[in-house]
Copies of this chain bind each other. A is one copy, B any other.
Amino acid sequence: MDRLSPPITVTVLTVSDRCSRGETTDTSGPGLQDICRDQLGATVIGTRCVPDEPADITEAIRNWALQGVCGGQHARVKPDLIITTGGTGLAPRDVTPEATASVLERRHPALLELARLRCYQITPRTFLSRGECGTLARSLIINLPGSVRGSSETLGAILDILPHAIETLRGDVQDDGRTDVTPTTGRVIQHHDKGGA
C-alpha cells in the first residue's frame, strides 16, 4: 500500500441511534480506525457518534470538511478522508446516504461500485448498502455499512486506490496524461497515465 506524505488524515463518524444513546457499544468505528492506521498509515484526527438524524449527520460532515479539527496550538487540521459507518441500508431510519448526498459538492459513486464488485465474492448482500461517496472541499467522504464485517470488508476492498484518490484530491497529482511545468511555481507536476481517471 502506498503511504502518503504527509500521512492521510481521517475522521470516523458512527451513525447509530442506539450507540448514540449508549444502549450498545460501537465496535465498527474503532475497527475502521485500526484499518486506517495499520493499512493506510493514516492519522485518525477525530471521531464522533450521532443518531440516525439527517441534521446531525450533515452537521458533523460539514464541520469536519469545512472547519477541520483542532490540532493543538490553535492549528486546525482538515481530514483527507471522512468515513461514516451505519445507516446505509433500507431500514426505515437509515438516512446516512441522503444526508451525505445533501452536502457533497462532487459525487463519486464509482468508488463504492468497485467495493461492491470486489465484496461480491464474499456476499451479494454488499449490494444492499446504499452508501454514497464524494467530496466536500478537500475531503473525500465514504459511507460504509454499520456492521463490523460489512464496514471493514467494504473499506478493505478499496484501500489500494484510496491513496491515489486522496493525492489527486489534495491537488498533488494531475491525471490528465499531459506533461508540463507549472509556469507560476516552476514545480514539475507529476503526471500519471495509467488508464485511470
A interface residues (Cβ-Cβ under 8 A, vs B): 16, 18-19, 23-25, 27-28, 86, 88-92, 94-95, 97-98, 105-114, 116-117, 119-120, 122-130, 135, 138, 140, 145-150, 153, 160-161, 164-165, 168-169, 171, 173-180, 183, 192-197
User: Would you list the 3 A-B pairs with minimal beta carbon distance, nearest first?
Assistant: A125-B196, A147-B177, A89-B197
Q: Is the CB of A129 within 8 A of B196?
A: yes
Closest to A23 in B: B180
Tell me which of B18, B19, B24, B150 contacts A196 (CB under 8 A). B150
Q: Is the CB of A125 within 8 A of B195?
A: yes
A98 partner residues in chain B, CB cutoff 8 A: 105-106
Majority secondary structure, A binding face: loop
| Complex CA–CA separation, A119 to B192 (angstroms) | 17
Q: Is the CB of B196 within 8 A of A161?
A: no
Q: Is the CB of A178 within 8 A of B138?
A: no
Query: How many copies make up the complex?
Result: 3
Nearest-neighbour CB distance to chain B for A173, whole angstroms, equals 7
| Complex CA–CA separation, A145 to B120 (angstroms) | 24
Q: Is the CB of A150 within 8 A of B193?
A: yes
Q: Please, could you name 8 A-B residue pairs with CB atoms under 8 Å apart, sorted by A?
A: A88-B197, A91-B171, A98-B106, A109-B130, A110-B127, A123-B195, A123-B196, A126-B197
Q: Which of A27, A92, A125, A193 has the most CB atoms of chain B within a 10 A radius of its CB? A: A125
Tell me which of B124, B177, B194, B197 contacts A90 (CB under 8 A). B197
A168 partner residues in chain B, CB cutoff 8 A: 89-91, 128
| Complex CA–CA separation, A88 to B88 (angstroms) | 26
